[in-house]
Amino acid sequence: MRKHSRRFQKILEQIDRSKLYKPMDAINLLQDLSSVKFVETIEAHMALDLDPKYADQQLRSTVILPKGTGKKIRIAIITKNEQVIQSLNEEADIVGSEDLIQEIKNGRLDFDKLIATPDIMPSVAKLGKILGPRGLMPSPKAGTVTTNLYDAVKQFRLGKLEYRVDRSGIVHVPFGKLNFSSLDLNLNLAALYNSIDKNRPSGSKGKYWKSIYLSTTMGPSVLIDHLVIKENIV
């Protein structure tokens, strides 16, 4: 049997495990129960009736959270265009070409998002074993392979993030910090839900949504009523 700390156990006692919480009530509860000395991240764990081993049931897309993620990300850009490299020095944290590819091969991974132009992707593809397991490999579906680098950087700064379904059919997505207002977190959650709903794979038949849990970095999960989210989407 899994053992929990006294702090965690005390929090569990204040959550009704048999209750289906409204999203706003769950957010408020998790904010009230937070008892650690840092600002926790709040995450959504969305179980879908998908089997990603089939190509037509795979889900991978992006969403721009209207209130941002609360996280400052380091963005790296790889392109062959020297003029673009010079002009993007102030927009991105790291900018380079073949030189940056070599640095990554040598172990440089001090960035959270890697954006590349299509012309250099054959060289970037060779970094698959390094970038792939860390979720850093650029992809057109994720908006990280593009010729419009300025817009891509701007969108990720504003709160654009990528999500995908895992092998068990669950999407795990952080959608803000607990020091956001509950209204802002609810807006982010609604945007995420709407995006996943609109990007339903063609192979998904019948019931799509199974369950949604909200949790924090150091806290337990709370089951929410996803139908309430849908009702609140305009």
Tell whether the model's pLDDT for residue 1 goes beyond 60: no
pTM: 0.80
126 vs 91: CA distance, rounded Å: 26
pLDDT in tens, 29-58: 999 888 778 999 999 999 999 999 999 999
Could you give all domains of the chain from N- to C-terminal order, each with its CATH number?
Answer: 6-69+160-232 (3.30.190.20), 75-157 (3.40.50.790)
Single out the residue of 164, 165, 153, 187 nearest to residue 65, CA to CA.
Answer: 187
Helices (H), 14-144: 23-33, 82-87, 98-105, 121-124, 128-131
> Which has the minimum average pLDDT: 11-20, 41-50, 72-81?
11-20
pLDDT, tens only, 118-156? 999 999 999 999 999 888 999 998 889 999 998 999 899
Asked whether residue 23 carries a pLDDT value surpassing 70, the answer given is yes
